Amino acid sequence: MSKIKPSKGAPYARILGVGGYRPTRVVPNEVILEKIDSSDEWIRSRSGIETRHWAGPEETVAAMSVEASGKALADAGVDASQIGAVVVSTVSHFSQTPAIATEIADRLGTDKAAAFDISAGCAGFGYGLTLAKGMVVEGSAEYVLVIGVERLSDLTDLEDRATAFLFGDGAGAVVVGPSKEPAIGPTVWGSEGDKAETIKQTVPWDRFRIGDVSELPLDSEGNVKFPAITQEGQAVFRWAVFEMAKVAQQALDAAGISPDDLDVFIPHQANVRIIDSMVKTLKLPDHVTVARDIRTTGNTSAASIPLAMERLLATGDAKSGDTALVIGFGAGLVYAATVVTLP
């Protein structure tokens, strides 16, 4: 018989507050068109993107995270000293170690909170939310801060016609804490590593250490290109439309609800055509509010879901207590979907 005492966590967990930060610089499609052969009409029709935000020198991954987190803490009515863990999902923090979460935890004024980064691409927020729920229910932390943050402008090849217009920067954060009733449903998540080549970094970091630049990609001026994100657009589109709709339905089933029970749908903001196709496949009723934050924010990977959530609540398009289906999917290929009660 085990001598270990049972955990004393909360019966359930919920999102208590949400906050977002968008860099001050707004970049219209016209800026993107300076280096690629395309048009504003083509970009809008293919992706839905009209503008995106790009971070300036002072808007670092840590700085944006601190801003978004401060708003989330205030929204939740929770002091930073009460945070027991900080989970940061990002692929654009370029220092291998230490985790940027430790710096963020310190700058926020937490009391030695556990802090770590995760790399799950555009599904990273869902992964972090699932971990946070487990910590609150298990009892290892009463309140957990989950952050999705990206400076994808640093990983964008502005001469790549397929991806130059896609990516934006920003940070979104939520505070997860105890609840007396279910407010974060079971997570349906997974990976399909056999499709890893469809979204990837163009060049691994160690190629620069080797010193042989003969096979590294060059820009139009003959300079070695910094590693960037590349993708096979059609393959990703088909996978997202057909496979992720199935995952979204599984999340609804796991939560014991139907599309008619939903108030809000917040998918990863990858492409407005993917979003519209998922809405159609899931047969979501007209009363369901659908996040299309991508139009003015672009694809911000791990930050896209909390940023979209924050905007819907701020504009009144969604309200506290609404039932929302959230799903993230991307590089890996990885995915995570769950049903939540909005803060």
Which structure tokens are listed for 230? 């590349």
Nearest to 161, CA basis, from 85, 231, 57: 231
| Helix, strand, or coil (residue 126) | helix
User: 44-58, 113-127, 165-179, 230-244: which range is least confident on average?
Assistant: 230-244
Q: How far apart are alpha carbons 220 and 245 in whole angstroms? A: 40
Question: DSSP secondary structure string, 223-236?
Answer: PBPPP-EEE-HHHH
- Among 53, 93, 271, 299, the active-site one is 299
The verdict on whether 287 is a catalytic residue reads: no
DSSP letter for 167, please.
B
Place 208 in a pLDDT band, splitting at 50, 70 and 90.
Answer: confident
Place 211 in a pLDDT band, splitting at 50, 70 and 90.
Answer: low
Q: Which residues pair with 148 in a beta bridge?
A: 89, 172
Can you give the pLDDT at residue 213?
Answer: 63
Give the type of residue at 341.
T
Determine what percent of the chain is predicted with pLDDT higher than 70. Answer: 98
State the alpha helices, DSSP H only, in 201-319.
206-210, 233-255, 272-282, 294-297, 304-315
Nearest to 309, CA basis, from 293, 298, 297: 293
Give the type of residue at 319.
K
Per-residue pLDDT, averaged over 163-184, amounts to: 97
Strands 169-179 and 12-21: antiparallel
Q: How far apart are alpha carbons 200 and 230 in whole angstroms? A: 6
Per-residue pLDDT, averaged over 106-133, amounts to: 97
Q: How far apart are alpha carbons 88 and 173 in whole angstroms? A: 9
- Among 29, 93, 122, 271, the active-site one is 122
Per-residue pLDDT, averaged over 299-318, amounts to: 98
For residues 84-106, b (16+ Cβ closer than 10 Å) or e, as one string?
A: bbbbbbbbbbeeeeebbbbbbbe
Place 221 in a pLDDT band, splitting at 50, 70 and 90.
Answer: confident
Taking residue 214's Cβ as centre, other Cβ atoms within 10 Å add up to: 4
Question: DSSP secondary structure string, 152-165?
Answer: GGGG--TT-TTTTT
Q: Is the pLDDT of residue 173 over 70?
A: yes
Place 212 in a pLDDT band, splitting at 50, 70 and 90.
Answer: low
Determine what percent of the chain is predicted with pLDDT higher than 90. Answer: 87
The verdict on whether 29 is a catalytic residue reads: no
For 314, counting Cβ atoms within 10 Å of its Cβ (0-12 exposed, 13-18 middle, 19+ buried), the class is exposed
Q: Is the pLDDT of residue 218 over 90?
A: no
Nearest to 64, CA basis, from 126, 135, 152, 127: 152
Question: Which residue in this structure is represented by tokens 């979460």?
Answer: 101
| Helix, strand, or coil (residue 3) | coil
Strands 334-341 and 323-330: antiparallel
* pTM for the structure as a whole: 0.95
Can you give the pLDDT at residue 133?
Answer: 98
Place 194 in a pLDDT band, splitting at 50, 70 and 90.
Answer: very high
Place 203 in a pLDDT band, splitting at 50, 70 and 90.
Answer: confident
Q: Report how far apart, in Å, the C-alpha atoms of 40 and of each of 240, 269, 296 are.
A: 24, 19, 14
Q: Is the pLDDT of residue 292 over 70?
A: yes
| Helix, strand, or coil (residue 84) | strand
Give the N- to C-terminal CA distance of the chain in Å, as an integer.
Answer: 41
The verdict on whether 299 is a catalytic residue reads: yes
User: 51-55, 145-149, 323-327, 330-334: which range is least confident on average?
Assistant: 330-334
Nearest to 278, CA basis, from 243, 226, 232: 243
Per-residue pLDDT, averaged over 261-268, amounts to: 98
Q: How far apart are alpha carbons 92 and 24 in whole angstroms? A: 19
Per-residue pLDDT, averaged over 88-114, amounts to: 96
- Among 53, 93, 268, 271, the active-site one is 268
